[in-house]
Amino acid sequence: MINLIDKLHKTNNLDYDELVFILDHIEESGKDYLIEKAHETRMKIYGDKVYMRGLIEFTNHCKRGCKYCGINASNKNVERYRLTLENILQCCDVGYNLGYRTFVLQGGEDDYYLDNMIVGVITEIKDKYPDVAVTLSIGEKSYESYEKYYKAGADRYLLRHETASRKLFERIHTNSNYDNRMECLWNLKKIGYQVGAGFMVGIPTQAKEDLAKDILFLKELEPEMVGIGPFIPHRDTIYKYEEGGTLRDTITIIALTRLFLPYSLLPATTALGTIHPLGREQGIKAGANVVMPNLSPTKVREKYSLYDGKICTGDEAAECRSCIENRIVSSGFSIDMSRGDNIKWRTRI
Ligand code: SAM
Ligand code: FES
């Protein structure tokens, strides 16, 4: 086991069998060693910095039927909301004054926002704040739409692949297509975005082999960002009685990902902080180097309910910033409020 982890640390790669072997056989001491190596790798490349992104959840309307997701189209118990362009810009103003230089605009797949509206939001933000990076996370769109947003100034796009196993993908989604999701990711790369892929750990029926495929898919795609969080059941979904992903499993996968993709920007997600009070700190110690405090207006936060028990729904943006900053600093890391582009991407352009 230690030999394999050392090999991964040195070469940033393993084959499928080696990776499945690790996932199948790793014991607690092996996990600690893996986390140590992931930490070394992150320190070598990004140092102790943790990059801050301001997250704006601007719509919880969604046309998709992801079976695990609390805001999927079939959930009639969700009180739906949409932020106006003005609301979104107000969130950016608050965020900018708090020092954020990346805004992440996330939402369900909501066709109410036509391309020209999305382009309008991006243009307004970039005109007002030329020094910020805009990240979109609004699901699957056509090549042409992605291109329009990019030309308007969007810098990054988060689209978790959810799972690199076709069978599992089809089991956990209703009206989504595996090939299309994958194609979207390759399209985003081609257009020039800094791309974020990712998946949940502990989704019902997920096997170790599925996780191995996820990591090897990431290795092939080489995204600049990777979002990994535990699956957490939501009361209005068919998975409400299932167990969620565990902290230990999730940080093990984060550490593996740091070693496979040493340059990636890896968030310690809100979901990780939801399943354990020190989840985000542990994620950061295992190689994560991004956090995304919530800038959405507090009155809508509870409504963007992907899973039960989501933390930070009551805090104002400023409180979120100071809470998470204290956590980062007391874990021995430092805050970085800059745009925080992927280092490799920065040297490529
Ligand atoms: N609609 C966009 C998309 O499809 O990429 C972005 C929003 S979507 C809600 C963001 C991510 O939330 C998904 O990619 C999924 O991995 C995660 N998510 C959804 N339901 C979840 C759950 N029950 N537990 C943990 N994460 C969840
Ligand atoms: Fe669309 Fe979750 S099903 S955001």
Report the candidate in 28, 44, 31 with the shortest Cα–Cα distance to residue 4: 31
Query: Could you give the domains of the chain?
Result: 2-348 (3.20.20.70)
pLDDT of 182 reads 98
DSSP H helical segments within 226-266, as ranges?
247-260
Which of 66, 76, 159 maximizes ligand 2 atoms within 8 Å of its Cβ, making it the mutation to test the pocket? 66
Per-residue CA distances from 180 to 144, 157, 347 (Å): 14, 16, 30
State the pTM of this model. 0.97
Res. 218: pLDDT tops 60: yes
Tell me the ipTM for this assembly: 0.96
Q: Could you tell me the pLDDT band of residue 348, with boundaries at 50, 70 and 90?
A: low
185 Cβ inside 6 Å of ligand 1: no
159 Cβ inside 6 Å of ligand 2: no
Q: Is 292 left (phi over 0), alpha (psi -120 to 50) or beta?
A: beta
Task: Compute, in angstroms, the gap from residue 10 CA to the centroid of ligand 1.
Answer: 33
Euclidean distance between CA atoms 139 and 66, whole angstroms? 12
Which ligand 2 atom lies nearest to the CA of residue 63? Answer: 1
Q: What is the mean pLDDT of the chain?
A: 96
* Mean pLDDT computed over 42-48: 98
Euclidean distance between CA atoms 271 and 266, whole angstroms? 14
Which of 59, 72, 113, 203 maximizes ligand 2 atoms within 8 Å of its Cβ, making it the mutation to test the pocket? 72
Q: Could you tell me the pLDDT band of residue 315, with boundaries at 50, 70 and 90?
A: confident
pLDDT of 317 reads 78
Half-sphere exposure of 92 (CA within 13 A, CB side): 28
Q: Which residues pair with 272 in a beta bridge?
A: none
pLDDT of 312 reads 87
The residue whose CA has the least distance to atom 3 of ligand 2 is 72
pLDDT of 11 reads 98
Task: Compute, in angstroms, the gap from residue 237 CA to the centroid of ligand 1.
Answer: 13
* Mean pLDDT computed over 9-36: 98
Task: Compute, in angstroms, the gap from residue 301 CA to the centroid of ligand 2.
Answer: 15
High-pLDDT (> 70) share of the chain, %: 99
Range with the poorest average pLDDT among 67-71, 168-172, 180-184, 299-303: 299-303
Task: Compute, in angstroms, the gap from residue 306 CA to the centroid of ligand 1.
Answer: 7
Res. 349: pLDDT tops 60: no
Report the candidate in 263, 132, 247 with the shortest Cα–Cα distance to residue 201: 247
Contacts of 265 (CB under 8 A, 6+ apart): 51, 196, 224, 225, 226, 289, 290, 340, 342
Backbone angles phi, psi at 102, to 5 degrees: -135, 130
236 Cβ inside 6 Å of ligand 2: no
Res. 216: pLDDT tops 60: yes
Res. 267: pLDDT tops 90: yes
Euclidean distance between CA atoms 292 and 295, whole angstroms? 9
The string of pLDDT tens digits covering residues 90-135 is: 999 999 999 999 999 999 999 999 999 999 999 999 999 999 999 9
Closest listed ligand to the CA of 157 = 1
* Mean pLDDT computed over 36-53: 98
Which ligand 1 atom lies nearest to the CA of residue 69? Answer: 20
Range with the poorest average pLDDT among 114-118, 216-220, 232-236, 312-316: 312-316
